[in-house]
Copies of this chain bind each other. A is one copy, B any other.
Amino acid sequence: MPITANNPDRKSWLQVPENSDFPIQNIPFGVFLTKEHVVTIGTRIGNYAIDLGALQQLSYFEGIELTDDMFMQDTLNDFISDGKKTWRLVRNRIADIFDQNNPELRDNTSHRDVVIFNIEDVEMQLPILIGDYTDFYSSKEHATNVGKMFRDPDNALLPNWVHIPVGYHGRSSTIIPSGIPVHRPMGQTLPNGETQPVFGPSRLVDFELETAFITTDANIMGENIPIEEAEEYIFGMVLLNDWSARDIQKWEYVPLGPFLAKNFASSISPWIVTLDALEPFRTSSPVQEPKPLAYLQQEGDHAFDINLEVTIAPENVAPTLLSKSNFKYMYWTMSQQLTHHTVNGCRVNSGDMMGSGTISGSTPDSFGSMLELTWGGKNPITMKDGTERKFINDGDTVTMTGYCQNDLVRIGFGEVSSKLLPPFVRK
């Protein structure tokens, strides 16, 4: 089925600012709360939030097989369960409804009043109920940088890394949407040169610049997903700030991996950009040498050219650009990650989320964490107010943005932005 929603020549009757992340070619999916405290599934064009539940009630999705309340829900899980054909039909239909040449909704003021909101008037929610969250570690540059600092500079990359899209399980209960502040975590750390740990606020809170993909029901338990089919089960992508406490991580992570250093918060951008919308931005991945085992080999382009940026803004201070990276730098692709994840029969459900791992490029200005940007605190970064940062201070707001751009269209993610607060005080 053609993805007519991607037609770059189409214009909407809704006004879209220049360089908007959300032209009519994007049509992402999210969940929002209206001023009237109604939760609904929606999409976004320009600076308008569009209530898909209302559109469905007004019969705009006639002819597409959907349960009656498909878009009147507080998560996208059921819609994602319906599979790629339905996602495509719905996106194509939304593009038609908002096409400048289609008068149906354009000229119906009473319908427009209940369907279209200013983006400032809605409150974005977590778009999915995340059953399981996996985080990969798929940037060779990041894994090498961390290996140099935490382990052995001469053997930074462990032998398994080039054979396995290394990943681990994260915590679903603390995944939050952009805008929700995060408290500096408390925890155990081992001061340098000491043998006895101490308890207190983490002193090394960091961001990790990542993307994540959201899956549909992929398999039954026991069954694997062949690599040729993997992309069929990927609904779309979000930006992910995988908050990390480096001092807690260093002390706790052997032998079972990071735990409390990560599970205090992971922030995501609220609009899921579909893999269909990203189709024009497919590109090649870094060459994989040695060649991966047969089940991980694939033909064609499975990376996506997504520009990524991170800024930090102290309170009442303009943001400072810290890093410019790109999703295409990742060594392992999303299809390789999903194939590997299921090769042992691990079940993947609708709404599961899989993080890319920190996305670092090869130059120091493209590193995806403070750990790497300041090289463990050795090279502090100066903010616009003259203060220095080795890691993140209380009151700092970390913002990540991401977009794809070619001559014809720009498809963006908006942002994931969250402020770091001092440790939580129990009442």
A contact set with B: CB distance below 8 Å: 131-132, 137, 147, 150-151, 158-160, 163-164, 166-174, 176, 183, 185-188, 190, 195-199, 202, 221-224, 245, 248, 251-260, 263-265, 290, 293-295, 340-341, 343-349, 352, 424, 426
Q: Which of B202, B256, B265, B290 contacts A168 (CB 8 A)?
A: B256
Q: Give the distance to chain B from A29, nearest Cβ to Cβ, in Å.
A: 22
Q: Give the distance to chain B from A417, nearest Cβ to Cβ, in Å.
A: 17
Q: A170 — which chain B residues lie within 8 A by C-beta?
A: 169
A137's nearest neighbour on chain B, judged by CB, is B256
Q: How far apart are the CA atoms of A164 and B261 in the complex, in Å?
A: 13
A and B contact pairs by CB, cutoff 8 A, 23 listed: A131-B172, A132-B173, A160-B190, A160-B251, A164-B197, A166-B256, A169-B171, A169-B259, A171-B346, A173-B221, A173-B347, A173-B352, A176-B221, A185-B344, A186-B224, A199-B294, A222-B264, A223-B424, A224-B424, A256-B257, A264-B344, A264-B345, A265-B345
> Beyond A147-B255, A183-B345: 4 further Cβ-contacts under 8 Å?
A166-B255, A173-B349, A199-B295, A256-B257
Q: How far apart are the CA atoms of A202 and B344 in the complex, in Å?
A: 9
Q: How far apart are the CA atoms of A209 and B56 in the complex, in Å?
A: 51
Q: How far apart are the CA atoms of A199 and B295 in the complex, in Å?
A: 8
Q: How far apart are the CA atoms of A259 and B174 in the complex, in Å?
A: 20
Verify B257–A344 contact, CB threshold 8 A: no
Verify B346–A260 contact, CB threshold 8 A: yes
- Number of copies of this chain that the complex holds: 2
Q: A167 — which chain B residues lie within 8 A by C-beta?
A: 256, 259
Q: Give the distance to chain B from A75, nearest Cβ to Cβ, in Å.
A: 13
Q: How far apart are the CA atoms of A405 and B349 in the complex, in Å?
A: 41
Verify A132–B172 contact, CB threshold 8 A: yes
Q: How far apart are the CA atoms of A163 and B199 in the complex, in Å?
A: 11
Q: Give the distance to chain B from A233, nearest Cβ to Cβ, in Å.
A: 14
Q: A188 — which chain B residues lie within 8 A by C-beta?
A: 163-164, 293
Q: How far apart are the CA atoms of A166 and B224 in the complex, in Å?
A: 31
Verify A426–B223 contact, CB threshold 8 A: yes
Q: A263 — which chain B residues lie within 8 A by C-beta?
A: 169, 344, 346
Kindly name the residue among A196, A199, A252, A263 whose own CB sees the greatest number of chain B CB atoms within 10 A: A263
Q: Give the distance to chain B from A132, nearest Cβ to Cβ, in Å.
A: 5
A295's nearest neighbour on chain B, judged by CB, is B199
Q: A169 — which chain B residues lie within 8 A by C-beta?
A: 168-171, 259, 263
Given contacts A173-B349, A263-B344, contact A160 B254 (CB under 8 A): yes
